[in-house]
Chain A
Amino acid sequence: MLREPQHDICFDKLIISMKNKLRIGIISLTSCEGCCCAVLDWPTEFLSLKEKVDIVNFHLFEESEHSSDERFDAVFIEGSPLTKENIKAVRQLRKNAKIIIAFGSCAHIGGVYHLKQYQDKNKIFNSIYHGQEGIENFDVQSLSALIKVNFVLPGCPISAKEFFQFIYQLAIGKSPSVFNNPVCYECQIRGYECLLQKGEVCLGPMTGGGCEAVCLKSKQGCWGCRGLIDDAEVGNLMKKLRDKYSDKEIVKYLEVFGVKEIIN
């Protein structure tokens, strides 16, 4: 089951601890590590973070061993909790961190891996691993199915801009803001050609913006990697798509990032 976590941050607790630098972890579960890499797309901003925060755990950047009782103010978790080890780590992190941020589409809504859930998972497994032993065939789930998530930084990958914005806001003790305008907002402002009007599939009207409509910039329809906006008019968009596409065709787009389940 996928659930869209509510944004919920207990600030009092955090601000009390603000006398010291914020302790932050960026942790990868099963994933392509694209979200972690996206952080490093902004190297200058990343390096200047050290004035405000201590990044105490970020394996893309350092290789030290970390003890399981390491404490954090905030932990960004990228990827899907798939293996037993992942699940154990996530539960421990919840205990050790004041706030947990689902970092990117995998942690948020299951990500691309979630495609497996819509097929016969054993069949898929066999066709990929040819019956090899010692490989577990886990169910794909989002972070919030396992632990309480306080905030989401969505996207496949996340937006570095939003990541730094989030940390800056924490550092000055301000509630992080959520961008609740659809992808169409950024798409129309930039004057990109509207693919939906052209008869292609685009989930932009129901999907949360913040990605600067990057897919539409390359004339690629939005497949909803950032999840739903509040009050998304899902039904009307489906009606519009049904003018040209069969349910079977539409569902293919909805499955890519697990949008299919969050709209039901």
Chain B
Amino acid sequence: MNQKEMNNFAAKLLANYLVYAPIKKAKEVIIEKINLAGQIDWTGAMPINTFKRVLLPPREVMFNVEGQEYKERLTSIRETILFGVNILDLQAITLLDHVFEKDVYYQKRRQDIFTVGLTGGIENDFRKYRVFHQAYEENVLEHVMFDVFIEKQKNGNFILFSGSEKGRTLLESCNIVEYENIEFAGLVPEKGVDNKIVQNRLAVENSEKHNLWKELAQTCLACGKCSIVCPTCFCFDEQDEATLEGVEKARRWSSCFYSDFSKTAGGKKDLDALAKKLYFWYTHKFVRVPEELSYYGCVSCMRCYKVCPVGINVARNLQALSSKESRK
């Protein structure tokens, strides 16, 4: 498929669906709702934001209580395409899909969302993004969930893959019959959990007494920007909003850096010091998620570093934790 045919494909999608895609704006690539196929950025540059807000809105109303009456607010969304999702962001979406597997609000919305991945060669992407959460394996696409995947070749042409029934239907509805099927083979590769997961986990686990946390606590602002921007951070607060008629129950994004995050009814906080919050963040991503799902809690997109006002760098910190000399 050449660029022209590809643009036709995107235009067909635009005619029938809401489409979000990376676009170039000023000097940055940013994910936005698009109107024209020509807006799409094909370079594979890491967008400054993520698709997370489409899958998991920053604030979402779940139900209302009016007097004795309970009113479910499960609403349908317009069918939506997440177009041009890079391999790391697909992995992040795969994680969210697993975490919210039994969440009715997420799943209801998810039914109507299609993911269309994009790469200019995954091995190359791994180098470009300086991936530190996994080692490149050829069958990486078998362990990530997607509906359609587009590979841009060196000659500028594209080849297509389908990763689900939803994807095949989507392609065929656009009269595309030339594509290859890839069966999702579960989160864990045949040869076992990725060695990088194991290494990172070992580095973070039991590092509570490591000096790094104290050092970082000398600069971190607890602003939580890193969690908000992170494609794999999924924590939320529940929030009651009163109306004249009753109560609206909503949930909204949160961060383990915020004061209310670990506050319990009596006012006690587990995370009562900044060093603990920092350690908690890494433990969650590199120890607890891998433990529960044998999957990545962090996909090494480096967005947290890019938005951090004091430049806290997750890749460098993992290195510091793994290096022998620094271990206490």
Contacts and interface: CB of A to CB of B under 8 A. Distances in A.
Interface stretch (A75-83, A143-151, A228-236): A228-236
Contacts of A48: 244
Most-contacted residue by chain A among B223, B240, B243, B260 (CB, 10 A): B223
Interface stretch (A23-31, A94-102, A171-179): A171-179
A51 B244 contact: yes
Contacts of B49: 191
Interface string B15-42: 0000000000000001000000000000
A52 interface: yes
Interface residues of A, number: 33
B288 to A, nearest CB: 23
A182 interface: yes
A163 interface: no
B16 to A, nearest CB: 27
A204 B223 contact: yes
Contacts of A231: 222, 259, 272
Given A191-B49, A233-B221, A236-B220, A172 B255 contact: no
A58 interface: no
Contacts of A182: 222-224, 258
B241 A165 contact: yes
A172 B247 contact: yes
A208 B260 CA distance: 12
A174 B247 contact: yes
A10 interface: no
Interface in B229-249: 229, 239-244, 246-247
- A contact patch SS: helix
Contacts of B218: 236, 239
A197 B220 CA distance: 13
Contact of A172 (B30, B220, B246): B246
A9 interface: no
Contact of B253 (A52, A169, A189, A205): A189
A194 B258 contact: no
**Helix, strand, loop or mixed for chain B's interface?**
loop
A15 to B, nearest CB: 14
B294 interface: no
B113 interface: no
Contacts, number: 92
B302 to A, nearest CB: 15
Contacts of A230: 259-260
B309 A240 contact: yes
A196 B228 contact: no
A188 B309 contact: no
Contact of A205 (B239, B243, B309): B309
A165 B239 CA distance: 12
A196 B244 contact: no
A180 interface: yes
A185 interface: yes
Contacts of B30: 191
B58 interface: yes
A222 to B, nearest CB: 11
Interface in A227-249: 229-233, 236-237, 239-240
B68 to A, nearest CB: 13
B219 interface: yes
Contacts of A229: 258-259
Contacts of A184: 221, 223-225, 228
A168 B243 contact: yes
B274 interface: yes
Contacts of A172: 242, 246-247
B293 interface: no
B310 A236 contact: yes
Interface in B135-194: none
Given A52-B244, A188-B223, 13 more contacts: A165-B242, A168-B244, A172-B246, A180-B258, A185-B224, A191-B30, A191-B48, A205-B221, A205-B223, A229-B258, A231-B272, A239-B218, A240-B309
Q: Which 6 A-B pairs have the closest CB atoms?
A: A168-B242, A184-B223, A205-B223, A230-B259, A205-B221, A188-B228
23 contacts: A165-B241, A168-B242, A171-B242, A181-B224, A181-B254, A181-B255, A182-B258, A184-B221, A184-B228, A185-B255, A188-B225, A188-B228, A188-B229, A194-B309, A204-B223, A205-B221, A205-B223, A231-B222, A233-B221, A233-B222, A236-B274, A239-B219, A240-B310
